[in-house]
Each structure stands twice: as C-alpha cells, then as structure tokens.
Structure 1
C-alpha cells in the first residue's frame, strides 16, 4: 500500500488542529450567547413582573384590575414574545394579553405552580421553564400582588423562546460554515506552506539520486540545507566519505589480492611449462613438485588469512574468552618457532609476566604473526624479545627485534592489508614467504579485544606493541 505523503499528513494535521480550535472557540461563543440571551430574557421577566405588581398594589379590587387592564399590560406591550395573564384568588382569569401563541397552555398550567408570595421580592430564581437550555419553549414567572381591599391576584408573565431559539440555530449554522471554510482554507494554506518548506528536502533527494558508486566523493551542499536538516546532511556526507573510503580500500584490497595470488600461480605455471618442455629425470620432477607444493602452501595460507579476516569482521564472530598466563603462552609460541629461529640464526627470549583475559587462540595467532615477521627481518646473530608487562589499564605485549628501522611514513600503514614497506613487493630472504596479511590479522585481533596495536621503530630496532585492556 502506498504511504501517504508527509506534506498531506502535515496539512491534514494542521487542518484538524484548526477545526478543533474553531470548535472550541465556537462552542464557547455559542454558550456565552445562549447564557446572555437567557439572562436578558429573565431580567426582562423580573422587571415586567416587578412593575406590574407595583401597579396592582395601587388598585382597590379585582374589578379595578379589569378596568385598568391596559395600564397593567403596558409592561409587555410591543413585544410579541411576551404574554401576560392575571388570575384572582379562585384561579379565574381576570384578563390576558397576547395569549394566542405558544404561551397559552403554559400560562394555564402554571397558574397554581410555585409563585412568589405578595410579601417576597421577585428574583430570577422564581422563573420556571418548559424544556431545557436553548431548547426551552417558554420561560414563565408567576408572582402574587396584594390589592388595597386585602385580596390577592396572581400575575403570570411568559416569554416565548422560539425567536431566540431560531437566532441560536442560525448562529450555530454560521459557526459550522465558518469552521468548515476555515478548515479547508487551513488545509490549502498548510499544504502550500509545507510543500514549499519541503523544497530543500526534495533538492537533497535530487542530489542523492546523482550519487553513484563512481561518484561517492560527491557531497551534498550543507549551506543550502535548513538548520533542522544540516545535521542530517552532515551525517550523510560523513557516511558517503566512509563508503568511498571503504570502496577504495576494497578495490585496493582486491587488486593486491589478485596481484599476490598471481605471483604463485605464475610460478606454478612457469615451472610446470619448463618441466614439460622436454623429458626430465625423476630428481628434477621431484624438485618441481616440491617447488609447486611450496607455492600451494603459500596460496593456502593466503586464502586462510583472507577467510579469517572475513569471519572476524562479521558481527556474529564468537570469541572464547578466558584468563591465562601470558608468559607461559609466549614461551609456547617461542618454542614453536625455535627451529625457524635457529635456521635464521636469531635468538628468541621471553621476559616479564602477567595474567590476561582474552581468546587464547587469537592471542597465539597475533603473537605468532609478529614473531614470524620479526624473524624475517632480524639479521643473523641478533635477538628477538617477547616481553609482557602491566601498565596503567592494560597488559602490554611487545615483540622487539634489532635490525633496520621502518621509515616514519610507513609506520601507520604496516598494518594495512598487503602493504609492504618496500616497493618492490619481493619477499625477505629469511624465513617463510609473507602473504601480506599477517599484520592486518594482528590489528583485527586487537580490535576484537577492544585493544590496540602499534609499532615503534628507531635506530635501536623495531617494537610491535599489543595493548590488551584489563578486565574489571
């Protein structure tokens, strides 16, 4: 299902918010108008009843009430919504005014309802009604008035609310219309404003569409991005830089791997073609097979190293961590390389002590790669030292050897895959041939342990240093 656009979503949200505001304001205004109309009508009823009672108090008897009917009804004259009846003590209607409308039945039914006694003041609390609120049909006020002869009459004044109900209904319809029109206007204006505000995002999208594998170095313009999107654009540019670096390293890695694998394959092919060029004796074939076996071993080590690096970079790579004696493990590694060191004419010694919490197999592999590298580059008659020592927050393992120094510009690159300090890419004459991946494996092992690997080289020799963080 196609997702709704962000512009439409925000426009609908703004329109809904506007409608909600209109509804609350309209309801408040409608309620205020209703209360104001009711209060105005009630005050009109109270005022008419008060003046009518005052006039009735000046009359002698019910006969005078009939005689002065016009004077008594003066308080409701001119208002078709007001009706008046005056009853004697027996409930008979002495006279009525404007009783042909909705108020007729109400006036008759409320004659003997709760009335204001002749001696009590007339208040709003005495008003009765049929229906409720804005739906009230009639509001009625009944009050007794004392005549001069001691008799009483009941003054009933009613207010027909149909005109005000129509006014409120019309006002409500206008509010509905204004609210709907406001909501539509808010939606259209919000859509246009949001659509315009999204222009930088569309421009960024267009810029991102132009970025391909061959153009990863192309960056998006941060200066034209809004403040809210500046951080996102910066992050995307940083991501593109990392991707570009990763692709570049991958391309270089692939080229180096192809170059290093081509050499043993060329050796295999060349030696085999020479051997097949003519018939040879058994000893020459044996020498050819032995040479080919060395090249196969070199290819196997290279493939194994590449597979290890690929597995180590996988997030689900599993390490078997445990505590062990680092001096003992270094001694075991030194003993394993004893024969190779003797052939190279170098001595290996182990110094220091310490307990390390790490993966034993990975630890041995890292130290073995460093020791094999040291044997290849240590002149005959000199020594290699494997030293373990504890520093502030780590356990340091150092593989130090005497010999020629590494150039300063190569110190940061010696751990790169297939990198060699010499540009000729030939193998050192001492020790087994290098695959160009040994030091890269060392760095990967240290990254897996949360430590670091670095090298120091000067006139006194070269020191490869591994720092393992101590477990807390």
Structure 2
C-alpha cells in the first residue's frame, strides 16, 4: 500500500494543502491580531486625545477614571488604568487598582517621588469678543503617542503614553477581552483544518484516481494480451497528451510482437507440416528394410532402433503442429457429448497394464458428461497418465480422481515421485522442459511437450490444467472442463 502511486499522490496533495492551510492560518491569525491591536490603540488614543488637548484641573482625572466605568460599564472598571503626571514628572492621579508591578521605568517615562507640587490649573479669564463668545484657548503642544504592552498580576495590558506641555497621560486597557475574542479564531481553525484536510484527502484520492486512469487502461490491455489476443491495441481516442507518446510506444511494441509471433507460429507449423512427408517416407523405408533383414541380425536391431526414433520424431512433429495451431487459435474442435466418466475409467484400465510395479487407485464419479473433441482430449489425458507412470518411483502410487463440482468436471491425477528429482514448478509447463533430470532419456522417454500440449487442449475446451500440489515425493495436477447438462 505504501508503494501505491495513487496513495503517494493523495498524500502529497494533503501535505501540500496542509502546509498551505497552516501558512494561511498563521498569516490570518497574525493579521487578525495586528488589526485587533491597532483597533485597541486607536480606541485608547481617541480617549486620550480628548483629555490632553487642553489643560485640566487635578480633580478632572478622578472624574475621567469614573467616566470610563460609566461608558463601558461598572463591571469593566478594572479594565482600564489611568495615571497622570505633571510637567515635573510628579504624580497627579493614579487609578486605585494600578498594579504595583508596573513602574515609571517600565513605561519608559521619568518620575519624581512625591505628589505634584504644581498649583492646580485654573481656566484663564478672557474678555468676550464682539460676538459675545470667549476667545478659544491657545493651542497646546501634544506629545507623540507611544504604545507598549506589559504583563502584571496575571493580566496583559496595552498602554498608550501621551500628553501635552502640562501633563503626561498613561492610559491602559486590559487585553483579557481581546484575548478571549481572539482565541475563537484558533479554536475555529483547530476544527476547520482537520475537516478541510479530510475533504482534501478525499479529493486528492479521487484526482489521483483520475490521473492514473490511463495507466489502468494500459494495465487492462496488457493483462488481456495472450497468444490468441495479440491483435489488441490501446485506444488513442480521447487519450491525454501526456500519455499519447506512451500509448504509441506500447501499440508499436504490440505490432512488432504480433508480427514476430505470427512468423514464429507459421515457421513451427510449416516446419512440422514439411517434416511429416519425409518422416513418413523414412518410416516406410525402415519398415521395408526391417522386414527384409535377416532375423536376429545386427541389421534388424539397427533398423528397429531407427524405426523407433523415427516414430518418436513423428510424435514430436505432431505435437508441435498441435501447439502451433493452439498458439494461433486455429485448433479446430469437433465437439460432441462425451461420457467422460466412462472414458477416464477406460483410461485407468489401460494405465493398469502399463504401470507394472505401481499401485493404482481410482475414484471415478459416474455419469459426468462434457462437450469435447475426444480425439484431442484423449491425448491430454494420455499425456498426464503417461507422465504419472514414467516419472514415478519403484513401488510408487498413481491415483485418479474424477467428479463434478459447481458445473465443472474436475479430474485430479496424483503420483509419487523420485525424491532425488528436482522439479521447478515455474517451468513445468514450458515446452521441452523435462523435470526429472536424475533419469536419462533411455529410461524416461519423451520430449517435454506433454504437459504443455495437455494444457493447451484443456484451454481450447474452455478449461484449464494447473499444478495442484508439489511435495518432495508427491505431485498432483488438476484438469477442469465445463460439464455438459
């Protein structure tokens, strides 16, 4: 699963999206926090500006502190801090709940010990103008506002330091409400981001599936290519541009493979066909020479050995011709209803005559019919029985079992084997492979075509032949065919 390209693409999209979401969340929270602090700074500066535009009497600042409670609510009284110094940096007013941890040096302002000795401010008296209104007071020089954040008594405070030529005003606001409001955004992100990642995971999985869909098409086509289906090609209509070159390469490869296979099949078929006539002539000449040779003579034995080899060659040629026909899909079957139970029972009787020194067991279910070309099918069963007898050990066993399972005729043939024989299960059905390397051809006759031919005949009948079990001293094959109703 970890080597899945689709999973890698989905995980990559999730990781990339997660990083983007995390970066966006960090940026968004930073902007929100900065905007919130700027709003508080504007609010503090707006409140403070109204107080420092002109000179104020000392008693004004206590009233100002109380007015904040009346504006924001009595429960919010402790939310604000007020401190006022005169021009000599002496304290004029300090909120009763001012934290002792916050001193003048922390605020970056000078301060002189003791209360203010400056006389209280009295509004000047001006003569009225011709309009009857008093003239405006002279403008005061305002100090630039400074903002800073401090922590005291477990609270975080935002201060503005501002003033005029007479007074310095330090106005602070508790940020507890701001933090409570700001905390909603991370909590919202903590819920929204996992949900978004789940949705992105699902979307990434679907997009990855769509992205590798052409690969699945190529896999299906490649999986359906057999010796009888080399004419299949990958459709180019509607293919994505990125996969067009790959499709062209695969289709070109299939063209070359089909041509090469057709040439090899034609060569096998033509060679087998051309060899039949000279082998038949050679067989006839050897039979005539064998009849004319003196009895028990050396010439007669030589002709008999040569005739046996020619007959073996004719069998090999015939099998090669059948395999070439099977490869090209030209094995023509004359199907008829066959009582396979009776035929296999007869095959067991024939095998009994050949299996001298072997124990033969059979379990044949009666009345199982198939639609088959018995001439071909007989060859498959004879090949299996012949191998079971030839590739056996002394005093070994051969077992035939036949029955019907789920509308399939199932034939199982098992036999003991030579423990010293080395059998490669991956190569058992290869042509010309002879698994029992411990025996010479003089003891075990054959060309290594029997199993391959038997499987091709079974497949031509819509069945199959497979290796069922292989142990050190035992081997078993199963041949299945569609049962006739």
TM-score when scaled to structure 2?
0.45
Structure with the larger helix share: 1
